[in-house]
Amino acid sequence: MARFLITEKDVLNAARRGRDTLLVKKFTLITPLARDRAKDFKIVFLDAESEQVAGFSKPVPSATTVALGSDHTGVELKDALRQMLSEKNFRVIDMGTDTNTHCELLDYAFSIGEAVRHKRAAFGVMIDGTGVESAMMLNKFPGVRAAMCHNEFTARAARTRIDANVLTLGAKTLGEDIALSIAETFFDTAFEGVQNQPRLNKLEELVAKLLKRSFNDIL
């Protein structure tokens, strides 16, 4: 019976590449140190056949799942966006906040980044006062391409040119009607892969290089 082995080195190599999953073949042995390292880097082991192993399941989001969040300045706009997305048959995961009480916007942006990175949602929308801070936070996540859009043109360009999967909006800089129009344009626009795939490939290549450098700096 053929057996395979996953060691700490395999996990470290996956982390250097910015991966958050490792496929495990039947009869594979995972060393205790590999499991410890996987927990450190939040890497999940997935069965190559059933896509489940060690109590973990691979998240498979619907292409129409959206993680939606805001800080205290964007609660009303978030409610309007949730209604609009639902009417377009999107499945909305409301990440909060739900009140006008002052809160830290980066915590909510972080939650959306986690949802998109780990594929619990295919898209995300985050609202804060300007959209700037959230975009900065979200673009720290591998696999997240957040675009702060202030009109329909930028929303369309974000989707067609770089396949943005997260939209950030400014509740203090945009009226509700404009914000809804921007979001509608964002979700109605498809990535123009034939023309712009090389740019997206280059972006992913450079991000992977930065992750590798950051990983080596930690070590």
Q: Which CATH superfamily is domain 65-193 in?
A: Sugar-phosphate isomerase, RpiB/LacA/LacB (3.40.1400.10)
Tokens of 180: 């809804």
Q: Do β-strands 28-30 and 4-6 pair in parallel, antiparallel, or remain unpaired?
A: parallel
Tokens of 21: 């999953």
Q: Among the listed ranges 37-51, 97-111, 158-172, which one has the minimum average pLDDT value?
A: 37-51
User: Crossing angle of helices 152-162/176-188, nearest 10°?
Assistant: 20
Residue 118 and residue 42: Cα distance in Å, rounded?
10
Three-class HEC string of the chain: CCCEEECHHHHHHHHHCCCCEEEECCCEEECHHHHHHHHHCCCEEEECCCCEECCEECCCCCCCEEEEEECHHHHHHHHHHHHHHHHCCCEEEECCCCCCCCCCHHHHHHHHHHHHHCCCCCEEEEEECCCHHHHHHHCCCCCCCEEECCCHHHHHHHHHHHCCCEEEEECCCCCHHHHHHHHHHHHHCCCCHHHHHHHHHHHHHHHHHHHHHHHHHHC
- What is the reported pTM? 0.72
What are the C-alpha distances in Å from 191 to residues 35, 90, 156, 214? 37, 18, 9, 30
- Whether residue 64 has pLDDT greater than 80: yes
Give tens-digit pLDDT for 101-135: 999 999 999 999 999 998 889 999 999 999 999 99
Q: Which pLDDT belongs to residue 56? A: 40
- Whether residue 202 has pLDDT greater than 80: yes
- Whether residue 29 has pLDDT greater than 70: yes
- Whether residue 136 has pLDDT greater than 60: yes
Q: What is the mean pLDDT of residues 27-33?
A: 84
User: Crossing angle of helices 75-87/176-188, nearest 10°?
Assistant: 40
Give tens-digit pLDDT for 175-198: 999 999 999 999 999 999 888 999
- Whether residue 219 has pLDDT greater than 80: no
Query: Could you state, in order of their start, the residue ranges of all structural domains in the chain?
Result: 4-57, 65-193
- Whether residue 59 has pLDDT greater than 60: no
Contact 132, 174 (CB under 8 A): no
